[in-house]
Structure formats: structure tokens, C-alpha cells
Amino acid sequence: MNSFPQTIGSGAFLEPEHPRLLQRPLSLAERRARWEVRAAQWRAREIAEIVFGGVAASSLIGIRPQGPLRGLLELEVPFECLDSHHEREARFMAAAQADPVLARVPLVFVFAPGVA
């Protein structure tokens, strides 16, 4: 007995007894919607780098192709003091609301202190 999958004479692999599709293929519209969220992620990161002076890390959680909320974006930004952080956060939100890409893709932004 070997650990390679069994093949049919022509070299094709045998189908399992109960094949399951673990994830259905995405339609073209769903793929575009996901990439729209990714574009918004990178735009938000770029704005955060300008406003906060850098981004240590970012992560996008829960991408949704449509709906009132398209994802949660965590940004690890430099933290000096609470007052300056609130001021930078307000500048970031104003820039995000004025940005045409971020205006089309509603995200929740979570700012975390970055490790220097």
C-alpha cells in the first residue's frame, strides 16, 4: 500500500464516494465586490500612514460583498498620548469620509497601538 491517491488507468484520480464542495465558486460580481473591499483596505491604510505617521500592521476581518457593513479593518498605528491620538483619529475619519473609494465601501475602523 502506498500513500499516493489511486488513479484510473488514464491517470485521472478516482472521485471520492461522497464528494463535497467546501466553498462554492464566487460569481464575477462577488469577486469584484471582494476586490472593492480590498481596494478600500489599502486606501484606508494609505490615509492612516499619512495621518498617523505610519502603520505597523493592518488586518481586514469579515469581508462581505454587500450590505451596510463590508468589513472590519484593524490598523496598528503609533500612539503617543490620548489627546493627539483622538485628534489624528478625527483627521483620519474626515479624510476617509471625503475619499471616493472609502465612501462607497463602509468599513469599521479599529485603531490599535502599534509596537515600536
Residue 95 lies in a domain: yes
Locus of grid cell 500513500: 3
Above 70 in pLDDT, residue 18?
Answer: no
For residue 47, give the nearest of 20, 68, 75 by alpha carbon. 75
pLDDT digits (tens, 9 = 90+) for 57-114: 999 988 777 777 788 999 999 998 999 999 999 999 999 999 999 998 889 999 999 8
Output the nine-digit C-alpha cell for 54. Answer: 505610519
What pLDDT does 70 receive?
85
Residue 72 lies in a domain: yes
Helix (H) or strand (E) holding 77: strand 71-77
Q: In Å, how far are 42, 69, 100, 102 from 39, measured between CA atoms? A: 5, 15, 11, 9
Give the integer Cα–Cα distance in Å for 103 and 45.
15
* CATH number, domain with residue 74: 3.30.70.1350
Residue 20 lies in a domain: no
Residue 17 lies in a domain: no
Residue 9 lies in a domain: no
User: What is the pTM (predicted TM-score) of this model?
Assistant: 0.72
Domain of 55 in residue numbering reads as 28-113
Q: What's the number of domains the chain is made of?
A: 1
Give the dihedral of Cα atoms 88, 65, 29, 25; nearest 10 deg.
130
* CB burial readout 62-78, b (16+ within 10 A) else e: ebebeeeebbebebbbb
Residue 83 lies in a domain: yes
Residue 50 lies in a domain: yes
Residue 74 lies in a domain: yes
